[in-house]
Amino acid sequence: MTQTTAMKRTAVSSGHLLMALELSASEWRLVLGDGRSRARREVTVKAGDRDGLKKEISKAKSKLGLPGQCPVRSCYEAGRDGFWIHRMLGELDIENIVVDSSSILVSRQLRRAKTDHLDGYALHDMLARYEAGETGVWKVVTVPTSEEEDARRTHRERERLLKERGAHQARVKSLVALCGARVSDVRRADFEKLRQWDGTPLPPELKAELKREQARHLLTQQQLDELEKEQSKRVKQAVADASAGKLPIKNSLDRVLMLMALYGVGEVSAWVLAHELFWRRFDNRREVASATGLTPTPYNSGGCTREQGISKAGSPLLRKLLIELAWGWLRYQPQSKVSRWFQERFASGGSRMRRIGIVGVARRLVVDLWRYVETGVLPPNAIVRCENP
């Protein structure tokens, strides 16, 4: 499908082809324009068709009167396809940005028309505004390298396995509770010997289901053990490489070892922080706190003033870890500046005040840890381990 549409546009620098991609599993919808004239071109290509993409770009340059060697700038919304499209566009010498879809402003009408056609044109319009210097039109996703993206797989799979293990445990205990029985250890439970409330054996179908659930639980536990052993093996190898001077500076494992040198930061916490957050480049502490979703979101309009809580942007896994790490920091680093701040302001209050205060501890702590990883400056009054972790 090809069509040219006239519409008012915001002028951008000349000599560039702007391309917005609206992605789906079967096809990609492209909206192409020069950012200056009112003519735009909409086409569709098969998903992943590199040759078709290059062909349509060449046609668009010819139709819009652009030179064949003019630069191409593109964008698409982050989603299921991840970043391989971004890397493919880079190999085609296309300057691409990946957009956080949740940061795109939409109409607040009660009913809003939404189609791939309309979304493609809206994305192209916002790309033109972004290229014209209106950087606040959306938020651009920081794209990791292939190695950085692959390094996340370990701790993210571990988190999923932990949830699966908990689900299997809860399911087994819930099933036996239907018969008035109890199970303390799912792994070692013998359902042949387990009895109902009246002393009779478990029903055969229920017993079969419990055994299958137990088998899934044991498999999940086995995979979790293997994953944790592999992670510990890599950390021990990194310690050996660091002692031999073979570990690259500012490598992800180098960051893990730096964090583990602090009391209160264990292997799991250091691994997740290094691979989930500190691989990125931040310009200041505000960007660090904002990336974790721990920044406040005040509401102050007219006579209404209230606090809406933290923004909860970014990774929920990272935010949960930082809250757990903050409680551990109070225990293992009681003389640090952050811990004393909490003791002076929140420790004497009730449980609600302490929960509010621990979010502040997590926000301050992650900034201190970022500064420590980047510059080597220890968090104020923090204690370091004497030996290698």
- Alpha carbons 295 and 288: distance in angstroms, whole number: 10
Integer angstrom CA distances of residue 84 from 47, 91, 96 = 12, 11, 12
Specify the pLDDT at position 386.
64
116 with 29: CB under 8 angstroms? yes
Note the pLDDT tens digit of each residue in 155-212.
Answer: 999 999 999 999 999 999 999 999 999 999 999 999 999 999 999 999 999 999 999 9
Tell me how crowded residue 226 is: count the other CB atoms within 10 A of its CB: 11
Element (H, E) at 384: none
Integer angstrom CA distances of residue 298 from 55, 113, 305, 306, 309 = 49, 31, 8, 6, 7
SS3 29: strand
The pLDDT of residue 1 is above 50: no
172 with 214: CB under 8 angstroms? yes
Scored b (16 or more CB within 10 A) or e, 367-381 reads bbbbbbbeeeeebee
Q: Distance between terminal CA atoms of the chain?
A: 60
Query: Edge-to-edge strand order for the sheet containing 72-77?
Result: 3-6, 39-46, 27-33, 17-23, 72-77, 94-99
The dihedrals phi and psi of 87, each to the nearest 5 degrees, come to: -70, -35
Please report where in the chains the tokens 């001077």 appear, as a residue.
245
Residue 75 burial (CB < 10 Å; 0-12/13-18/19+)? buried
Note the pLDDT tens digit of each residue in 54-98.
Answer: 999 999 999 988 998 999 999 999 999 999 999 999 999 999 999
- Alpha carbons 265 and 328: distance in angstroms, whole number: 8
89 with 76: CB under 8 angstroms? no
What average pLDDT score do residues 249-270 get? 90
What percent of the chain lies above the pLDDT cut of 90?
Answer: 74
Q: pTM for this one?
A: 0.85
- Alpha carbons 30 and 43: distance in angstroms, whole number: 5
- Alpha carbons 279 and 255: distance in angstroms, whole number: 9
Note the pLDDT tens digit of each residue in 4-61.
Answer: 333 333 444 457 899 999 999 999 999 999 887 778 899 999 999 999 999 999 999 9
Specify the pLDDT at position 389.
54
Specify the pLDDT at position 387.
54
Specify the pLDDT at position 7.
35
What average pLDDT score do residues 323-344 get? 96
Picking from 26, 43, 62, the residue whose alpha carbon sits closest to that of residue 124 is 43
